[in-house]
């Protein structure tokens, strides 16, 4: 029986080649749009699978070993062959279907920038209104990418998806314009005690958002509004809100609505962790463009900086920071949910 040879993930070779050409892990990670820790893990895995040390690492420099030099031409040929194969099968490439949730959010800005970065690709917007719903569509192949709270997905869904942190988005509340809290410029969370707030309860497509609201409201005397018919479109949402007069949990970029006001939440500032999410194994230049656009806009806007007086569930913080390369930095003052209330 012939010996079984290990399968080498092309991603590992791509990471190796970037480090070999840059001779610098931080620059190589930036070039690949991955966290430096993730790139280091990939290099260690490649070294284990090949049974060879590829780099000499010191505090001052990175250099190729003899085996590292020997691998270079092989890695280049393998990756060039993969590019040729993909090119042969992606001429007349299909559109990339990108869920931006709803108009006016940061996901739409990322999509706009990605279209500029990949003018030869067709990136088409979809409006799935919820990452849980979009995740099922992505796994079924009916949608390619989406945005939202990755930690709020069922682990079975997460296993088939990739994610890249985009933003810690401050949360807000939408109030009828004559609500007693509407006169405030900012609404302290404590001021919502005794209120009933709508956060998508009963909507199977937004389970991750409802779960985030439940964690935020727990121990604060804020009730979740019961299930209501899902309003599709801005006009229908406004009509239902005007009839029920229920405050709605939202984010600071939520589009303006007639007869209502949007007020940021403070003391603490609750954050909605937003990631770009796509199907595992998906290869398309539009995905690369989305990832580049997310990195550029996030860097320009400081979207992954955490405010001093902030709230975020611990599980979300761990997942976001482990992928964004921010573990151990910028978290002073963050309040984690560990049980009822915030710590």
Same fold, 10-89 and 96-168+271-307: no
Count of Cβ atoms closer than 10 Å to residue 113 Cβ: 18
Strand partners, 51: none
DSSP strand pairing (223-224 vs 196-197): parallel
Local structure of 80: helix, strand or coil: helix
The residue assigned the tokens 């690369």 is: 288
Domain-by-domain residue ranges, the chain? Answer: 10-89, 96-168+271-307, 170-270
CA distance 93 to 95: 7
Residue closest to 272 by CA, chosen among 164, 171, 197: 171
Rounded to two decimals, the pTM is: 0.72
Query: For 42-64, how does the pLDDT look when each residue is reduced to its tens digit (9 = 90+)?
Result: 999 999 999 999 999 887 889 99
Task: State the architecture of 96-168+271-307 in CATH terms.
Answer: 3-Layer(aba) Sandwich (3.40)
Q: Beta strands of the chain (E only): which ranges?
A: 55-57, 62-64, 96-99, 123-126, 145-148, 161-176, 187-188, 196-197, 223-224, 248-251, 260-266, 269-279, 310-313, 334-337
C-alpha 172/C-alpha 265 separation (Å) is 5
Q: Which two tokens stand for residue 234?
A: 């801005």
Question: Cβ distance 168 to 306 under 8 Å?
Answer: yes
pLDDT at 67 (0 to 100): 95
59-31-330-322 Cα dihedral, nearest 10 degrees: -90
Task: Indicate the CATH number for domain 10-89.
Answer: 1.10.10.10
Tokens at 43, concatenated = 């290099």
Q: CA–CA separation, 15 vs 21, rounded Å?
A: 10
- In the chain, which stretches have pLDDT less than 50? 1-3, 325-343
Specify burial of residue 16 (Cβ count, 10 A radius: 0-12, 13-18, 19+): buried
CB-CB contact of 280 with 162 (8 Å): yes
pLDDT the model gives residue 330: 37
Q: Which fold has domain 170-270?
A: D-Maltodextrin-Binding Protein; domain 2 (3.40.190)
In this prediction, residue 336 carries a pLDDT of 45
12: its two tokens:
């590992």
pLDDT at position 238 is 65
Q: What is the pLDDT of residue 66?
A: 94
Q: What are phi and psi of 250, to 5 degrees?
A: -145, -165
Residue 260: its pLDDT value, please? 87
* Whether 153 contacts 131, CB under 8 Å: yes
- Residues 97 and 138: their CA atoms lie apart, in Å, by 9
Tell me, what's the pLDDT at 10?
A: 85
Q: How far apart are CA 245 and CA 239, in angstroms?
A: 10
> Are 181 and 191 a contacting pair, CB within 8 Å?
yes
Cα separation of 2 and 156, whole Å?
Answer: 35
């Amino acid at each position: 029986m012939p010996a079984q040879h290990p399968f080498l993930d092309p991603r590992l070779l791509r990471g190796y080649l970037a480090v070999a050409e840059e001779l610098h892990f931080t620059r190589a990670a930036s070039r690949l749009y991955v966290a430096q820790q993730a790139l280091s893990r990939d290099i260690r895995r490649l070294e284990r699978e090949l049974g060879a040390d590829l780099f000499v690492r010191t505090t001052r420099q990175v250099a190729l070993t003899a085996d590292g030099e020997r691998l270079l031409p092989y890695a280049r040929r393998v990756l060039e062959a993969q590019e040729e194969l993909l090119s042969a099968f992606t001429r007349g490439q299909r559109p990339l279907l990108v869920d931006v949730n709803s108009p006016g959010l940061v996901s739409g800005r990322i999509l706009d920038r990605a279209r500029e970065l990949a003018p030869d690709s067709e990136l088409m917007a979809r409006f799935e209104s919820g990452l849980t719903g979009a995740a099922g569509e992505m796994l079924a192949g009916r949608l390619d990418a989406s945005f939202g709270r990755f930690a709020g997905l069922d682990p079975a869904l997460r296993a088939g998806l990739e994610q890249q942190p985009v933003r810690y988005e401050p949360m807000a509340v939408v109030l009828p314009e004559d609500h007693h809290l509407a006169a405030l410029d900012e609404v302290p969370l404590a001021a919502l005690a005794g209120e009933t707030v709508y956060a998508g309860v009963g909507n199977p497509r937004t389970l991750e958002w409802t779960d985030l609201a439940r964690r935020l409201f727990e121990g604060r005397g804020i009730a979740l509004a019961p299930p209501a018919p899902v309003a599709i479109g801005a006009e229908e949402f406004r009509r239902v809100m005007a009839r029920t007069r229920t405050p709605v949990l939202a984010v600071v970029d939520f589009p303006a609505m007639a007869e209502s006001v949007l007020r940021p939440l403070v003391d603490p500032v609750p954050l909605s962790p937003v990631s770009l999410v796509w199907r595992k194994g998906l290869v398309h230049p539009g995905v690369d463009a989305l990832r580049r656009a997310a990195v550029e806009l996030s860097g320009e806007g400081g979207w992954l900086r955490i405010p001093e007086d902030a709230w975020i569930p611990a599980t979300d913080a761990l997942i976001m920071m482990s992928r964004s390369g921010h573990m151990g930095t910028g978290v002073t003052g963050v309040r984690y949910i560990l049980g009822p209330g915030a710590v």
